[in-house]
Structure formats: C-alpha cells, structure tokens
Amino acid sequence: MRFAAWKEFDLDARMWTIPTRRMKMRRPHRVPLAPQTIAVLEELRTLTGRYLLFPGVRSPSRPLSENTLNAALRRLGYAKDDMSSHGFRAAASSILNECGKWNADAIEAQLAHVEANAVRKAYARAEYWEERVEMMAHWADRLDELRRGGIVVPLRA
C-alpha cells in the first residue's frame, strides 16, 4: 500500500490493480474497494493526488517509509509485539476467517496468497471476485462499527 500510485486506481469500477512488478508472486492483483474506501481515497486525493497515495516527507516521488507507519503505531500506544504495519494483514486474515462468513480460499485470494500445493495451484485459478467484493464491504462496515465503539473480541493467542 505504501507504494500505491493513483494511476492504479479506478474509483468508478471500485478497484485497485497492483501491478506485477510490485507483487511477490509476479502477477497483477486486483483489490475490490468498499464504498468507505472510495470516500477515503477521494479525500486523500485532495491532499496527495499527484503520483503516490502516500508520498514520503522528503520527496513526493518516494513512498512513505514502513518505519514511519510503525512509529505512528508506537505513538498510538501499540508496542512492537502488539502490532506492526504489516500485522494488519494477519489481523484481517484472522478476523475474516474466524467470523465464518467467507470461503478461506477467497480470503487467501484477497491477500494475494498463492496455493502451496503444486497440483492445486496448477488448476485452481479462481479469483472469488464477487465474494471478495462482499467481504471488503463487510470488512469496511466492521471497521466503522468498531470506530463507533463496537465490541472488540480479542484474538486467541
């Protein structure tokens, strides 16, 4: 996300396409965008709408550093063992899997994980797009609920 460029976003289609060169498995990845995400992006565009969504302080052509994000988490009171910027992926995976509403393969597809089993990988190419669209809407709604003071259920250690 730190490297996200505005040209990768199609807000009308509600989709972010991450190019092959930035993906670990060297294939493009499409991400459905919830209505709340579109609203945040439209507001963000007024602040950074040139090249990168999150430009660094020293150069608008270089992304915000991961250390900047982690330092912000520390200022919010999260210890290193509690959360890191990358840890939000693990939290999303855990919460989405534990709620029991989503196909585990759809969650893995949303996280751009590739099947480890070579035979299954060769044949299973589903993107689970419609389910992922619903999942991201659910995720955004859940975050809104938490922001309004909803009950936080701690993850099992």
What is the tally of helices (H) and strands (E) in the chain?
Answer: 6, 3
Interacting residues of 52 by C-beta distance below 8 A, sequence separation 6+: 3, 4, 5, 6, 60, 61, 62, 63
Residue extents of the structural domains in the chain: 1-83, 86-152
**Integer Cα distance of 67 and 139 in angstroms:** 26
Q: In what order do the strands lie in the sheet with 15-18?
A: 9-10, 15-18, 29-32
Are residues 15 and 7 in contact, defined by beta-carbon separation less than 8 angstroms?
no
Task: Pick the closest to residue 49 from 58, 38, 41 (CA basis).
Answer: 41
**Integer Cα distance of 8 and 52 in angstroms:** 10
Task: Pick the closest to residue 36 from 138, 155, 151, 154 (CA basis).
Answer: 138
The mean pLDDT value of the chain amounts to: 89
> Which amino acid belongs to residue 34?
A
What is the tens place of the pLDDT at every residue in 40-79?
A: 999 999 999 889 999 998 888 999 998 999 999 999 999 9
Confidence of residue 119 (pLDDT cuts 50, 70, 90): low
Instruction: Report pLDDT for 49.
Output: 81
Residue 113 has pLDDT above 90, yes or no: no
Instruction: Report pLDDT for 156.
Output: 57
